[in-house]
């Protein structure tokens, strides 16, 4: 039974991450997925049946027009984030949009403007930020456990065979390591040191025209430094590290989903377990529910201005590497 | 008794590293320290007495003119590497010069030119390269254990109080993290991926005008990427890592003096112990002896061209950070 207290979600894009989202919603009692949409009605129906979702739409416009839906989880490829998000916002829906918010900063700015204009909630789905480990990180920093943070380094990389048809290698879909994986280390540096004011990158671009290996440096207000690495070509250890004047906090690998945090200061190390049950997406879902209940149109944990700064950082990285998407010209 | 077979060394600059050098020479039977020089005859004499060295000179010119000396170990502050090295080369001495080779690339180029012109041996004292661990690294790479190397990351940093009078904080002496510590991670990337063809850096410059924290990216021929970090303001873990297409080789911290190497490929990790006795400087001393005996004027392990590339990399880092030394204008 769907009570009035339930937040009613629609899902745009019944892919792999949407499967995780539905599983995570099971642990978030305040919400319920009531609809799903795909460009293929068949795919939408199959997904709806698999998850006992009442309504299956054959287009995103149908989903945007569904008056049972309050908030849409946009889980289509990066290249379509903007179009689907604008459609939903214009129809009065709130939106949680998968990371990266858009293909480039210009698209992201249009999305943020639309959310503000229509007075609807919009957040980039950087789920890691809402995990227990990230809360612990914030508490340790706030308590001054490592003094002033100076350096944030993190990485996310794995080796996969080059598959030109796979979205990660396809410029049409906004492929490449930076947008899909690099956003995680970048957001960690931004979280700890503030949004970057300069970004430089080097890397390797593969035959399909996307970045398969990238390292970026970010300069932050006050002199903080970020080091972000991402790769589709090599396995990276995946640790996240905040080095402060008097100690280091380490997010266990993988830093986008750490299950423990280690604080090292002077000669002593303490491990803080940050385990949790179920799918980690549930913490960002809780935050959306909290914001909607409180009438907040942006999360204080991840503002639209910060998402725009991250989008500009990704633009700068691609500019340094010479990666251009067909969608950039739109 | 000094036999004709002994290589006769003079030391310019009786400081801390010279103490280590003398200790290391004890384990290198082919060589003998026969003279030491300082701008202060008193300091030279005290050093000579402490180490039973026969000759103490009150100027570097005296040392250069000492016909008992074949090769000079230049261990004066960075700012004086060029002047002392040129003096020694012009007087017909071979030179092992502490790292970094000079304050900037222009000085380093003049030094390399002088060595070539006078047909004397010259090498930058990047002692790490000659350690057992680095030899193991080279063997593992040559054997294809991690496939093509893609990414080299390394760091060297410690926290020390800001002491304006200390050489590390003094622009007059070429202070800062990059020249003193950053050279180690930079040379590792250069060793594995070839000298860099592009360098970018961000960091923090302190009140005395030197870089106290620096992160640099290096782009190498063929698409390899280097990440180098150095700090006077924070303790860095100090691991060195070479990430290849099919595995990773890790140099144990501190990466400038690792005592083991770990090879990780697929799901398996093997630790190769690379311990040694005595002071690690002895391996570079052995290399100088080998080169002199073979009539080689440069070491194949660290050519002057590579040292020039490293000097240019340090210049680029300082340019990005805005660190200028008074000695740069000379």
Query: DSSP assignment of B97-160, as one string?
Result: EPSSSSSSHHHHHHHHHHHHHHT--EEE--GGGGSHHHHHHHHHHHTTTTSSEEEEEEEEE-B-
pLDDT of A110: 98
Among candidate residues B80, B44, B49, the one with its CA nearest the CA of residue B59: B44
The C-alpha atoms of residue B26 and residue B24 are separated, in whole angstroms, by 5
B325–chain A nearest CA distance, Å: 21
**Chain A neighbors of B203, CB-CB under 8 A:** 223, 225
pLDDT value, residue B55: 98
* pLDDT at site B267: 78
Contacts of residue A3, defined as CB under 8 A and 6 or more positions apart, other chains included, come to: none
- Identify the contact set of chain B against chain A, taking CB-CB distances under 8 A: 150-151, 153, 159, 198, 200-204, 213-219, 223-225, 227, 229, 231, 233-237, 241, 243-246, 248
Q: Name which of B153, B225, B234 is nearest A243 (Cβ-Cβ).
A: B234
Task: Give the model confidence (pLDDT) of B140-194 as tens digits.
Answer: 999 999 999 999 999 999 999 999 999 999 999 999 999 999 999 999 999 999 9
The CA distance from B286 to B283, in Å, is: 5
Which pLDDT belongs to residue A20? 97
Report chain B residues whose CB lies below 8 A from the CB of A156.
none
Question: Can you tell me the mean pLDDT for B261-290?
Answer: 95
Q: Which of B225, B241, B244 sits opposite A203 (nearest CB)?
A: B225
The pLDDT score that the predictor gives to residue A279 is: 95
Residue A245 to residue B201, Cβ atoms within 8 A: no
Task: Answer whether residue B2 shows pLDDT above 60.
Answer: no
Q: What whole-number distance in Å separates Cα of residue B44 and Cα of residue B58?
A: 7
Q: Looking at residue B125, what is its pLDDT?
A: 98
Which residue from B minimizes the CA distance to A159? B245
Q: Please, what is the end-to-end C-alpha distance for chain B in angstroms?
A: 43
Nearest CB to B234: which of A150, A215, A236? A150
B201-234 pLDDT, tens digit each = 999 999 999 999 999 999 999 999 999 999 999 9
Nearest CA-CA partner of B220 in A234, A316, A203: A203
Rounded to whole angstroms, the Cα distance separating B330 from B328 reads 6
What's the angle, vertex CA B226, arms to CA A220 and CA A104, rounded to 5? 50
| Nearest CB to A159 within list B214, B218, B245 | B245
**Interface of chain A against chain B, CB under 8 Å?**
150-151, 153, 159, 198, 200-204, 213-219, 223-225, 227, 229, 231, 233-237, 241, 243-246, 248
Q: Which residues of A touch B216 (CB under 8 A)?
A: 217
Given a cut of 90, whether residue B281 has pLDDT beyond it is yes
Residues of chain A with pLDDT under 50: 1
The single residue of A80, A93, A99, A289 carrying the catalytic annotation is A99
Please report the pLDDT score of residue B29 as a whole number: 86
Task: Provide the shortest C-alpha distance from residue A263 to chain B (in Å).
Answer: 13
Scored b (16 or more CB within 10 A) or e, B33-58 reads: bbbbbbeeeebbbebbeebebebbbb
A93 is catalytic: no
pLDDT of residue A267: 78
Query: Inter-chain contact A151–B218, Cβ cutoff 8 Å?
Result: no
Q: What pTM, to 2 d.p., does this model score?
A: 0.95
Question: How many other CB atoms are there within 10 angstroms of residue B269's CB atom?
Answer: 12
């Amino acid at each position: 039974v769907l009570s009035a207290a339930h937040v009613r979600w629609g899902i745009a894009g019944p892919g792999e991450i949407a499967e995780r989202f539905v599983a995570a919603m099971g642990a978030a009692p305040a919400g319920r997925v009531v609809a799903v949409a795909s460009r293929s009605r068949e795919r939408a129906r199959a997904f709806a049946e698999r998850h006992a979702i009442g309504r299956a739409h054959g287009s995103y416009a149908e989903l945007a027009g569904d008056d049972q839906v309050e908030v849409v989880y946009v889980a289509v490829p990066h290249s379509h984030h903007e179009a689907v998000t604008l459609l939903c916002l214009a129809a009065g829906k709130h939106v949680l949009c998968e990371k990266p918010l858009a293909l480039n900063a210009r698209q992201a700015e249009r999305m943020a403007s639309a959310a503000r204009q229509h007075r609807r909630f919009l957040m980039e789905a950087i789920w890691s930020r809402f995990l227990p480990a990230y809360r612990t990180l914030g508490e340790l920093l706030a308590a001054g456990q490592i003094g002033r943070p100076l350096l944030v380094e993190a990485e996310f990389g794995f080796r996969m065979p080059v598959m030109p048809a796979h979205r990660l290698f396809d410029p049409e879909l906004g492929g490449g390591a930076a947008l899909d994986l690099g956003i995680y280390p970048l957001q960690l540096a931004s979280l700890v040191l503030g949004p970057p004011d300069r970004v430089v990158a080097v890397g390797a671009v593969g035959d399909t025209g996307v970045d398969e290996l990238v390292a970026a440096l970010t300069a932050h207000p006050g002199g903080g430094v970020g080091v972000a690495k991402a790769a589709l070509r090599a396995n990276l250890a995946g640790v996240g590290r905040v080095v402060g004047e008097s100690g280091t906090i380490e997010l266990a690998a993988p830093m986008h989903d750490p299950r423990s945090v280690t604080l090292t200061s002077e000669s002593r190390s303490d491990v803080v377990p940050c385990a949790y049950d179920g799918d980690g997406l549930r913490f960002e879902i809780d935050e959306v529910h909290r914001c909607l209940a409180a009438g907040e149109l942006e999360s204080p944990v991840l503002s639209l201005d910060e998402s725009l700064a991250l989008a500009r950082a990704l633009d700068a990285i691609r500019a340094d590497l010479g990666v251009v998407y067909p969608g950039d010209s739109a």
